[in-house]
Each structure stands twice: as structure tokens, then as C-alpha cells.
Amino acid sequence: MTSDTLLELPQGSLKLQRMPLRSSDSLRAWDSADQLLLAQLQDLGPVSNILVVNDHFGALGTGLAYAHQGVKLTVWSDSYLAQQALQHNCRSNQLPEVHFIDAVATPQGPFDLVIMRVPKSHSLLQDQISRLLPQLTPTARVIMPIMVKYLDNSLYELLTRLLGPLTSSRAVKKARLLSAAPTQITSQAPMPVINSWQYGDLTLSHYSGVYGRKRLDEGSQFLLQNWPRGDYKNIVDLGCGNGILSLQAARSWPYAAITGVDESYMAVSSAAYNAKQNGVAKSCQFQVGNCLTELADKSADLILCNPPFHQQRVVGDQLAMAMFADASRVLDKHGELWVVGNRHLGYHAKLKRWFKHIEQQGKHPKFVVLRCRK
Ligand SMILES: C[S@@+](CC[C@H](N)C(=O)[O-])C[C@H]1O[C@@H](n2cnc3c(N)ncnc32)[C@H](O)[C@@H]1O
């Protein structure tokens, strides 16, 4: 075990790993904001029902399960990888499984303590807080471990508007704990927020945390303009988001079976909703997963992919590389992977590890569309 997986706490040490598991991964499953919160658990006082929101890689859920055995604990997140990490880390530390609720559902309180990692998306933040408030006891506290670099004035103002006055701990290793004791607790329990926009005659609806929630992503648009031309039967939309590529594929190849996969519960629910409201639900199915782990070898003849360029808030191409590796396994002998990405990410060179033939389609100053064959 290395120092990269061992988190030392006043109560003992925990083994924590990120998901997906990678032997070469030196990235820790916690940051100093998680660590600051976990180091102060003894100061939290008596609590009976804790909700952890947006835990990144299970550090908070596992740490709380370890320190507060016997207390009711629920983790609420939109991320399948976060869920997997939580389960894996609880198992590695011989702790019982923690109750997990995905972000489309609303956890049922009353909770007397909420520990919340503030998500990057302000719309997800507002949606989660508005659904949370009716689930709190009158004396509940909301504690937000946060890295100082993400705490700008607009976020501070938004949190104050949503939760009331905030207090802040001193900064330790560039992290702080923000605390609130919300008083505006309503009894109303709103549904998750859904917004819509049009792309041509397609209506795209989105839950609050989904990528491309306000307009079509420029990269996806470029891929739609440089669209595959073969006769495909088994199509995969890898990292499907709102399902835009699946919907277009269902129109281009009405007899094909289309599978969309995403690690976001809100994305998969939005994509399924969009397939239904645009009349292509029969040919599309959507599932939550990590890349294509659940798909059989050589089972697809076309994979469409607009890969993510960050995991949680950390920018990097690890997830894109995992997607390309999976795509090469899942494609049949003559299958094609069509990828769109920012030109500066250099996907062309990186894809050579798995694909012999890589052709650039169309021209764009910022993006490339690559057709890849084995
Ligand atoms: C750049 S967005 C593309 C969304 C959509 N296909 C589009 O073109 O608008 C990348 C998507 O990959 C998803 N994603 C991230 N990590 C993933 C993983 N490990 N497995 C599956 N999907 C993942 C994200 O949730 C996000 O929806």
C-alpha cells in the first residue's frame, strides 16, 4: 500500500482508491477539503442521520462510515464512478455498504447533517439544494468542504442566497469548511429541474447536471456535420450525455440498434426521455456504466464518441484513453470509431495505440473528427 492510497485520520487509517481502478494511477481518491472534514469529525457533535452529497471518490462516505458506525448514512450523487468508488472503498476497509441514491431521485430525510461537495454546475447545485431543504430537521447543519480556488464571489453569494449566512473555517492546505444552518426550510418537495432547447426539429431536455444543458456542444455539432456514411446495424454512443448523437443515429439508420452509455445518472435519464419525446425510443436503449465495461467484445460496428476531458474537476485525458481502449475491444473487425475532440488534445497520435487507420474528416480551426479503424 502506498501513501497515495492510505489516508491517515485521527481515528486510524483508511485505504482509498479512485475509480476506475488503474495500476499506474497516482491520483489520490481524496483532496485536502475531504481531509479537512474527516480530520474534524469528532467536532461534529451528536448526529443521527447524515447525507453526503457529491462525494468524489467515496472518501467522505467511507470516512464517515468508519468514524460514525451506527449512524444512518446516505450518499447522494450523479456519478456512477463515485458510487463504484464508494462501494469499493467501503469493501477495502471492511465496512458495510453505504446507502447510495442517484441524483435523479430525491433522498428522504429528515437529515440532521449534510456534508456537501459543491458541484461545478451551479444549476445542479441549485437543484440539489432546493430538493434538500425540505428534507432537513429544523436544527440541521450543512457543511461544505471546498478547495479555496473554487470559492469565488459569485459562488459565495449563491450559497448564501440558497442556504442563508455562511461561516468559514480557516484555510488548511488551501481548503476550507463552509457551514450553514438553513432556516428557510420549506415543506414543499420540488421535482428535479428539467430544461429544454431545440436543435432543428429535435427537442433536447436535460436534468440539471447534464453536459450541454443549454445548447449543442460545438464539438458534437461538428461531428453531426461530418457524419458517418456506412450501413451500420449496432451503434454505440459512448458518453451519450443528453443522447443527441443517438437520436441522430436513430434517424440516419432506422433499422440499427443503438446503445448509449454514460456514467451520469442524469445524462442517461435525459437521453432516455429525449429518445421517447423525439419518437426513436424503440431503437435506442441507454445505460449507466463506466465506458463500455458491460458491452461484449466485437458487438458494435459503429461507436460515436465525444469524450470527456475531465473527471470531477480534474482535467486530463485518462477517461478518453479508457474509452478508446474499450471502443477497440467492442468494435468488430470492420467497425469504426468516430471521435470528435479539441484539436490541441492530440487524439490523432494517441489513438494509434489501438487503431491502424485514422482519417480526419472535415475541417475546423478548433476541433477534429477522426474516423478510426483497426
Ligand atoms: C463531452 S460530453 C459528450 C456528451 C454528448 N455525447 C454530446 O456530444 O453532447 C462527455 C460525456 O461522457 C460522460 N462520461 C464521463 N466519464 C464517463 C465514463 N467513465 N463512462 C461513460 N461516460 C462517461 C460524461 O458524463 C459526459 O456526458
Average pLDDT, the chain: 92
Q: Are residue 267 and residue 220 in the same domain, yes or no? A: yes
Q: Which atom of ligand 1 is nearest to the CA of 264?
A: 25
Q: Which residues pair with 287 in a beta bridge?
A: 261
pLDDT higher than threshold 80 for residue 1? no
Give the pTM: 0.95
Measured distance CA(128)–CA(191) in Å, rounded: 10
Query: What is the mean pLDDT of the segment spanning 120-141?
Result: 93
Q: Which of 135, 150, 180 is the last residue of a domain?
A: 180
Name the amino acid, one letter, at 63.
G
Q: By the 8 A CB rule, do 320 and 347 touch?
A: yes
User: Exposed/middle/buried for 206, CB within 10 Å: 0-12, 13-18, 19+?
Assistant: buried
**Beta-carbon contacts of residue 307 (< 8 Å; ≥ 6 apart):** 238, 239, 317, 319, 320, 323, 324, 339, 341
Structural domain count, the chain: 2
Q: Does residue 77 lie within any of the structural domains?
A: yes
Q: Are residue 174 and residue 216 in the same domain, yes or no? A: no
Q: Which of 180, 210, 234 is the last residue of a domain?
A: 180
Residue 76: all three cell numbers together = 447522494
Residue that wins the pLDDT comparison between 229 and 193: 229
Q: Are residue 91 and residue 211 in the same domain, yes or no? A: no
Dist. CA 103 → ligand 1 center (Å): 16
Dist. CA 265 → ligand 1 center (Å): 11
Binding-site residues, ligand 1, Cβ < 6 A: 81, 211-212, 217, 220, 239-241, 244-245, 261-264, 267, 290-291, 306, 308, 319
**CATH code of the domain covering residue 100:** 3.40.50.150
Centre a 10 Å sphere on the Cβ of residue 150 and count the other Cβ atoms it contains: 13
pLDDT higher than threshold 90 for residue 191? no
Q: Are residue 217 and residue 357 in the same domain, yes or no? A: yes
Q: What domain range includes position 174?
A: 6-180
Take atom 13 of ligand 1 and give the residue whose Cα is closest: 239
Take atom 10 of ligand 1 and give the residue whose Cα is closest: 308
Measured distance CA(213)–CA(224) in Å, rounded: 17
- pLDDT for 315: 62
Share of residues in the chain with pLDDT > 90 (%):
82
Sign of the torsion angle spanned by Cα atoms 291, 241, 159, 180 = negative
Q: Are residue 170 and residue 61 in the same domain, yes or no? A: yes
Q: Are residue 109 and residue 198 in the same domain, yes or no? A: no
Using one digit for the tens of pLDDT, what is the confidence trace for 289-325? 999 999 999 999 999 999 997 766 666 788 899 999 9
Q: Are residue 266 and residue 368 in the same domain, yes or no? A: yes
Q: Are residue 176 and residue 209 in the same domain, yes or no? A: no
Helix (H) and strand (E) counts for the chain? 10, 20
Q: Does residue 42 lie within any of the structural domains?
A: yes
Q: Does residue 185 lie within any of the structural domains?
A: no
Residue 222: all three cell numbers together = 461538428
Q: Are residue 227 and residue 100 in the same domain, yes or no? A: no
Q: By the 8 A CB rule, do 127 and 194 touch?
A: no
Q: Which residues pair with 360 in a beta bridge?
A: 370
The best mutation among 211, 214, 274 to test binding of ligand 1, ranked by most ligand atoms within 8 Å of the C-beta, falls on 211
Q: Which of 154, 180, 206 is the last residue of a domain?
A: 180
Using one digit for the tens of pLDDT, what is the confidence trace for 60-93? 999 999 988 889 999 999 999 999 999 999 999 9
